[in-house]
Structure formats: structure tokens, C-alpha cells
Amino acid sequence: MDKIDEIKKMLSSSKVADRKKAAKFIGKEGLSIAGDDLWAAYLKQTRIVNSWEAQIMMINSLGLIRYKPAREHLYKICRENKDHDMITCYTSMAYMRIMRTSDHDVSAVFDLLAFGDFSVINGALRGIAADKLMLKNEEIERLIHMVEKFPQKHEIGYCDLRIGLACACAGWDRNLVHGFLEGCFTSADKELVKVAEKALKKKYSDINLI
């Protein structure tokens, strides 16, 4: 049995640990050839109660392999806009990856930010950082402007909403992001402060949850 067949078999395993392991491997290795099997496994997983951990693993990998047949389903979850919801956060990240027409296209991010609450916005911004996307100067300025318009409050138990954008700033023109990053220093979220400090030194932080 070759590796692809083995991974596909694990996706249909009765053990959730096998399904999660297979999903993670598909995303890590970019095995788009297993996309249909991963999609089928995910749809089955959604019918299992309290299986959010396996679902986000599968959603994340669907995004990493840019599995386009999932886009309408994922967008519907984003539009439901559940606040402080891990599935929504990873769905937003996966959707912006799938919708990219180039390695640095962020048009889907602006779409998500236009209606999104915390989880949708958090996922979209983390996706930009995780993929180290290089934006045009006008896109950077627009993105910072949009994020700064959101209420800047830190809720106990949750990250500051700006953390994904702060991390992404590490790869951008320091003159454009300096003011935004310095503004992050007033946050009660110590992780955001650390991320912003590293970004000013042109260093990315590891903020992806998977």
C-alpha cells in the first residue's frame, strides 16, 4: 500500500486520532490528490457531536491544499459569523486561501472583514501572517485602517484581534506599519505586544494554532 492509499484509509478510520493525523498530513504535504477524500471525511465529521478539533484539522488542510469545491460551504459558515468560535476562525483562514487567485491576492480578506466579527476577522488576519503574504502598499494601508476601526478591547481568554495583522507586518515596509505596531504596545494582551516587538525587528512570530 502506497502512502496516498494509507492516508485515504486513515481518513475513513473509526478512530478520530487516525482521521486527524491523516488530515494534518494532507495539509502539511500539500496532497491535493487526496482532496476529495478529505472533503468526504470532513462532511462525515460534521455530523459527529463535539468533534470540533477534528473538524478544524480538516478545514485547515482543505485550505492549505486550496480545495475549491469547499468554498461555498466554508463561506456559508463565515456568513453565520459565530463569535469566538474556533471552527469559524479556521474556516475563515481556509476560505481566504482557497479564494486566492495568486500567492498574494487578499481580495477575499477584504470581503471577510467587511462583515466579519471576531472569529472571521481573526482567521483571515492569521492566514495572511501564516502565509507571509506580501501586499501592495495601498492594501497594507487599507488593511491597517480597517482593523484599527474595530473596537480595540482585550477579552480575558481570547487573543487581541490585531495579532494576525501585527505578525504579518514583519514582512512589510517598516515605514507603513511602524505606527500600527507601536499602537499594539498598549494592549493588555502580552502575546500581541511580543508579536509587535518582533515584527518591528522584521521577525515573524509563530501564531498559527495548528
Predicted pLDDT of residue 210: 54
pLDDT of residue 207: 86
Q: Over 60: is that where the pLDDT of 29 sits?
A: yes
Task: Give 60 or 155, the one with higher predicted confidence.
Answer: 60
Q: CA 146 to CA 48: how far, in whole Å?
A: 37
* Cβ-based burial of 52 (10 A; exposed 0-12, middle 13-18, buried ≥19): middle
Lowest mean pLDDT among 36-40, 42-46, 205-209: 205-209
pLDDT in tens, 148-203: 998 776 666 778 999 999 999 999 999 999 999 999 999 989 999 999 999 999 99
Running DSSP on this structure, what letter comes out for residue 70?
G
Give the pLDDT of residue 153. 66
Residue 209 confidence (pLDDT) above 70:
no
Q: Is the dihedral of CA 53, 63, 30, 36 positive or negative?
A: positive
**What's the confidence (pLDDT) of residue 103?**
83
Cell of 188: 493588555
C-alpha cell read off for 202 = 522584521
* Residue 24, phi then psi, degrees to nearest 5: -65, -40
**pLDDT band at residue 1 using 50, 70 and 90 as cut-offs:** low
CB atoms within 10 A of CB 160: 22
Under 8 Å between Cβ of 25 and 37: no
Task: Report pTM.
Answer: 0.93
Q: How far apart are CA 117 and CA 5, in angstroms?
A: 40
Torsion of CA 200, 202, 203, 206, to 10 degrees: 80
Q: Convert the pLDDT of each residue in 95-118 to its tens digit.
A: 999 999 988 899 999 999 999 999
Lowest-confidence pick of 47-51, 61-65, 179-183? 47-51
Phi and psi torsions of 166, nearest 5°: -60, -40
Mean pLDDT of the 51-57 span: 95
The 10 Å Cβ neighbour count of residue 148 is 13
Residues in the chain: 210
